[in-house]
């Protein structure tokens, strides 16, 4: 007779292939596992509810989603893009550099790669393709690639999820993402410059120096949001969850009062969109919590740790294996599912190898973001393809140089832990 756990895995995969959400598939599989094992099925709902309602950190996710949606309906994106254009538009491939810098700035507000691609993406793609300056496929490719920085620079929804499953500090994880995020942006900026020289992309309009103070002043309320958030968290004034609430309130305040760019109907639509996104994430988290109970019952993390231990891998060999595993999983699984399903299984092995869990968290999140731009799943590829109307394969052809640049950054992030942990240690992290 087939093992109940094996049947559970088959059911989860089958339901997912037939179009069910990963969260619902995990719930159904866990329910079947409990029945086959002779346990009370109500354990599934009890575990799910306890995991959802006893975790204060989870509240940060819907609040960051709301903040991002409010920023997308206001004029924040336009002002931030104008600011970025004034800074770097004068260089070869200028609008490509603007794309990188604007994503870097916006990432300090939204915590979501999708929010970055949908909000900033529409505007910058139109700017790049106007008058045929850049091909639609290149504009889509660089927009998808730069959006991956969103969840690396704090705040970060994926890092909140990782903090929950790995029992780590959200604040230290946020700090650990700063330098890697800047490195990723630098790698993409260099790649854009190389491609711009090769394809003879134009220099954008040069903004006179005398205009910089005015443009900066107009963007200042938006630029202050990351300062308020990170200053509040690391100054001990508020927790990351409270910072998420402040982000949503501040985004609404500056959109309505300072920029006067949000109507009541637009705000209502932002609330509806946030509710849908939150429900989607909530189902995934609930399914993962339930399935993690099954994993614990099967003692799978211990079995994996013992299996890996048999090969007597060095730390370097183990990290190479982990990166390959996550890069492959990222091609077929959504990033949240990777964080919530795979990470709890691997944590004991990571600890046994002596790898710092905050450092490991950054490695995992960067890999998950790479998964958003690698076919066949590549959610950001689908989003930018939808915006531009370009065939997916043309975008894939143009995005490979950026994937290689990001893999180069990932190698540094993986094998230079002091680079990742420098800022957390300055803030008191003992790892």
Residues 179-224: tens digit of each pLDDT: 999 999 999 999 999 998 888 887 776 777 778 788 888 878 877 8
Mean pLDDT of the chain: 82
Q: What pLDDT is stored for residue 423 in this prediction?
A: 93
313 dihedral zone (left: phi>0; alpha: psi -120 to 50; beta): beta
User: Which of 188-192, 306-310, 354-358 has the lowest average pLDDT?
Assistant: 306-310
With bands split at pLDDT 50, 70 and 90, how would you rate the model's confidence at 53?
low
Q: Beta-carbon neighbour count of residue 98 at 10 Å? A: 28
400 pLDDT above the threshold of 80: yes
* Higher pLDDT among residues 234 and 33, named by residue: 33
Q: What pLDDT is stored for residue 348 in this prediction?
A: 86
User: Which of 182-191, 301-310, 314-323, 382-391 has the lowest average pLDDT?
Assistant: 301-310
* Vertex 364 angle, CA 360 and 370, to 5°: 145
With bands split at pLDDT 50, 70 and 90, how would you rate the model's confidence at 274?
confident
Nearest to residue 64, comparing CAs of 153, 165, 184?
153
Q: Is the dihedral of CA 359, 365, 368, 369 positive or negative?
A: negative
User: What's the mean pLDDT in 98-108?
Assistant: 78
With bands split at pLDDT 50, 70 and 90, how would you rate the model's confidence at 404?
very high
Question: What does each C-alpha distance from 359 to 12, 32, 172 come to in angstroms?
Answer: 30, 36, 10
Q: What pLDDT is stored for residue 421 in this prediction?
A: 95
Q: Two tokens at 407?
A: 């893999």
Report the C-alpha gap between 380 and 102 in whole angstroms: 17
User: Which of 203-212, 229-238, 417-426 has the lowest average pLDDT?
Assistant: 203-212
DSSP three-state, residue 26: helix
Residue percentage of the chain with pLDDT more than 90:
18
Each domain of the chain, given as residue ranges in start order, spans: 58-280+300-426
Q: What pLDDT is stored for residue 102 in this prediction?
A: 81
358 pLDDT above the threshold of 70: yes
Report the C-alpha gap between 291 and 33 in whole angstroms: 9
Q: What pLDDT is stored for residue 51 in this prediction?
A: 63
With bands split at pLDDT 50, 70 and 90, how would you rate the model's confidence at 392?
confident
Question: What does each C-alpha distance from 278 to 41, 69, 125, 389, 398 come to in angstroms?
Answer: 26, 12, 27, 28, 32
User: What's the mean pLDDT in 390-409?
Assistant: 92
44 pLDDT above the threshold of 70: no
Q: What pLDDT is stored for residue 109 in this prediction?
A: 65
């Amino acid at each position: 007779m087939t093992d109940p756990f094996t049947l559970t895995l088959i059911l989860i995969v089958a339901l997912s292939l037939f179009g069910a959400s990963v969260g619902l598939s995990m719930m159904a599989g866990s329910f079947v596992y409990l029945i086959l094992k002779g346990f009370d099925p109500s354990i599934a709902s009890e575990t799910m509810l306890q995991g959802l309602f006893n975790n204060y950190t989870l509240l940060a996710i819907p609040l960051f989603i709301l903040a991002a949606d409010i920023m997308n309906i206001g004029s924040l994106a336009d002002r931030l893009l104008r600011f970025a254009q004034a800074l770097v538009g004068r260089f070869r491939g200028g609008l490509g550099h603007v794309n990188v810098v604007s994503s870097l700035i916006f990432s300090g507000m939204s915590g979501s790669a999708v929010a970055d691609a949908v909000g900033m993406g529409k505007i910058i793609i139109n700017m790049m393709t106007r008058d045929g300056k850049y091909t639609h496929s290149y504009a889509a490719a660089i927009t998808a690639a730069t959006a991956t920085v969103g969840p690396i620079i704090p705040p970060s929804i994926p890092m909140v999820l990782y903090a929950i499953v790995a029992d780590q500090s959200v604040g230290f994880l946020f700090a650990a993402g700063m330098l890697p995020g800047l490195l990723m942006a630098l790698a993409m900026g260099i790649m854009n410059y190389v491609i711009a020289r090769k394809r003879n992309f134009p220099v954008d309009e040069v903004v006179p120096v005398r205009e910089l103070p005015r443009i900066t002043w107009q963007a200042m309320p938006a630029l202050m949001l990351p300062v308020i958030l990170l200053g509040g968290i690391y100054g001990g004034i508020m927790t990351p969850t409270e910072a998420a609430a402040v982000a949503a309130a501040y985004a609404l305040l500056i959109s309505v009062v300072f920029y006067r760019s949000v109507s009541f109907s637009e705000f209502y639509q932002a609330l509806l969109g946030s509710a849908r996104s939150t429900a989607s994430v909530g189902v995934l988290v609930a399914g993962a919590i339930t399935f993690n109970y099954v994993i614990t019952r099967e003692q799978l993390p211990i079995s994996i740790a013992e299996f890996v231990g048999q090969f007597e891998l060095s730390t370097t060999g183990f990290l190479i294996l982990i990166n390959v595993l996550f890069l492959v999983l990222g091609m077929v699984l959504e990033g949240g599912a990777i964080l919530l399903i795979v990470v709890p299984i691997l944590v004991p092995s990571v600890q046994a190898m002596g790898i710092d869990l905050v450092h490991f968290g950054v490695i995992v999140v960067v890999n998950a973001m790479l998964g958003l731009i690698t076919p066949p799943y590549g959610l950001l590829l689908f989003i930018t393809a939808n915006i531009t109307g370009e065939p997916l394969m043309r975008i894939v052809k143009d995005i490979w140089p950026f994937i290689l640049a990001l893999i180069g950054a990932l190698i540094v992030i993986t094998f230079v832990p002091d680079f990742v942990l420098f800022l957390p240690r300055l803030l008191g992290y003992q790892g």
